[in-house]
Every structure is written in structure tokens, then in C-alpha cells.
Amino acid sequence: MTSLITKNVPILGNLIKHVNNCTKRLSSHFIYFPDNEKPVEGETTKMNMMQAITDAMDITMKTDPTAVLFGEDVAFGGVFRCSLGLREKYGKERVFNTPLCEQGIAGFGIGMATAGATAIAEIQFADYIFPAFDQLVNEAAKVRYRSGGQFECGGLTVRSPCGAVGHGGLYHSQSPEAFFAHAAGLKVVVPRGPITAKGLLLSCIQEKDPCIFLEPKILYRSAAEEVPVESYTLPLGKAQVLKEGDAATLIAWGTQLHVILEVAQMAEDKLGVKCDVIDLMSILPWDQETVCNSIKKTGRCLIAHEAPLTCGFGAELAATIQEECFLHLEAPIQRVAGWDAPFPHVFEPFYLPDKWRCYSALAQLLQY
């Protein structure tokens, strides 16, 4: 297949270059990785998130002869280079390009997984996953149920870059996780960095239910961590508490997690208070126990995400927290999110829930 970057969509090449430059420039402003992230013992090596994702797929293809990787331009490494070198290593029968047809990519993956293969499908941008929505929600999520357990496509993992990059505009910056959270039968996961990306992706690939693995694209090269060399998994549906405190509970996932980590540090420095910071990691299922236990301790909750406010996944969190923790709440639950508008181009900084918006909401929460 002719490269989309060099031939079909030349503007895409400029976007990818901008992502690479933008991640380097922005990393010093808000990307923060806790020092205590080391899920397993053993040898480690420094990787960024792109390399950690490549490593997870490499391990899978080395250990599972049925594993295949496919999508638009994955043969040469993909537009973000997450499959770099895998075609040369495992051959064109196992790593191959597809036509520019997201519905076909998802449908093909469902067929392969139903036949018993391990299918890793890449949708080039999460903004373009919507043509595949019918296949994923009406087919992948329901195969086991509709067949009475005779068939399943748990071998399907759909990877897709998501979120803002600083220059993506309305077709390359969206966060669609809430759309899929409504579909019973799917699992939806968003990592925050290299260690979680490798462990969660390997968990998704081994999971018996089809998984949507959303990769915040600005994090691909933003920072590196010491990632375990060997295979390891992180549990799906389990959140992580990255900072502990008793003033409030701050909840986010993906890129936004780094924003609220900085906000928590600002609150400690400026206001003298400490907050629990929770990385949800799994959107479907999500870790209700960890979240509610934290809020019963702190009595206050702030939820932040890049997706629009209305029906963003923060609304589900807020509803459950209100039901389960009502008598423990000392203030109304705060949500800081994208605006209910198409993702803007030149006004992207005003759209994103940055640290100042989140800090302002936290200050109001603490003063209530």
C-alpha cells in the first residue's frame, strides 16, 4: 500500500512531524512520571511509550505464532512508528497493510479472532474509529453472547492513537473512550506512560474479551521510563493510586493524569494540602472500589478528562460516586473537561483542561 504520508494525505506527514516536536517541547511543562513505577523485578531498559508498545507486540509475535498485526501503513512502522521493524522480523504474512477502511480492519480482526488467531488491529487515529463503530459494538462486543458461548473474538485488540497533540485540530485530537464504555462486552484501556503501556497492552492481547487500547499520542515520545525487559501484565479494571493525601481525590487517565499530578503538587506547595491522585487506566471496566474508598477518606473529588464534558466518562464516575459516597461528600463533585464543541485548531490551548483550570477547580472544591 502506498504510504499515506508521502502520497495520499501529505498534510498527515506535517502533523506527525509536529507531534514529535510538540512532545519534546511540552514534556518539560507537564509530563510527570512517578519514580515508584516498577511492576516486576528483573532487568529493565529505558523506553519511551512508543518503544514499549512495539516491545509488547514483539513479545506477543515471538511467543504466539497465531499473532498478526495489521492496519493502514503498519508494514513500514505506522505513522507513529509503533510497529517499526516488526514486518522485517516476522514477515509480510503476519505484519501487513490494509486498505484505508476502518470498518474492514475491524471486521477482518473479528473474523481472525473468531477463527482462533490473535489479532492486533491498528486504527491510524482514534478520530477515524467511528466507521468501525458498528463492527466493534454490534459484532465484537456481542459475538460470545449472541452465539451462546459457542464463538468469541477475545483475541482481538484494537490499538489507536488518541487525544490532543498541540496541532491536531478537529479530526486528529479527539478522545472517544466514552463512546465505547457503553458497550457491554468490550474492554477499554488508556495507559499513561511506557510501563503501563507495555503491561496493559500485553494484558489486552491475552484478555478473553475484545479490547480497545487507546494510546495518547502526545505521550509516545514525551518521556522515558525504565521498563522491564521481560513480559509482564498489569490487571485490567484496576486503578492505581499514584499520590496519597486526605484533602481531595483527583481522578484522570492518559495524558490528563500528568496534568493532575502537577496540580496535586501545586496544591501541596501553594495550599499546604495533599491529595489522592488516581490513574483510572481502565475505562471499561473501571475500578469503583479504589475510587470510592479514596473519596470516603477525602470527602472531595475532582475528575479531569480531555473529552467533552457532556456524557464524558467523568459523568459516569460522578454518578456512581454520588450513589456510593453521598454521606461522605463534603462538596459537590467537580468535573474539568473539554468544552462541548468540535475540537478547535488554533484555539486548542483554550479547549484543553490544563493545570490552571484544574487548579482553580480544586481550590474552589477545597473552599466549599
172 is catalytic: yes
Q: Are 306 and 353 in contact (CB under 8 A)?
A: yes
**Residue among 72, 102, 215, 225 flagged as catalytic:** 102
**Residue among 152, 172, 215, 305 flagged as catalytic:** 172
Q: Is residue 53 exposed (0-12), middle (13-18) or buried (19+ Cβ within 10 Å)? A: buried
102 is catalytic: yes
Give the integer Cα–Cα distance in Å for 210 and 364.
Answer: 40
Would the CA dihedral through 329, 315, 180, 281 be positive or negative?
A: negative
Residue among 256, 320, 335, 316 at smallest CA distance from 289? 320
Q: Are 163 and 305 in contact (CB under 8 A)?
A: no
Q: Are 55 and 230 in contact (CB under 8 A)?
A: no
**Catalytic positions, please?**
102, 172
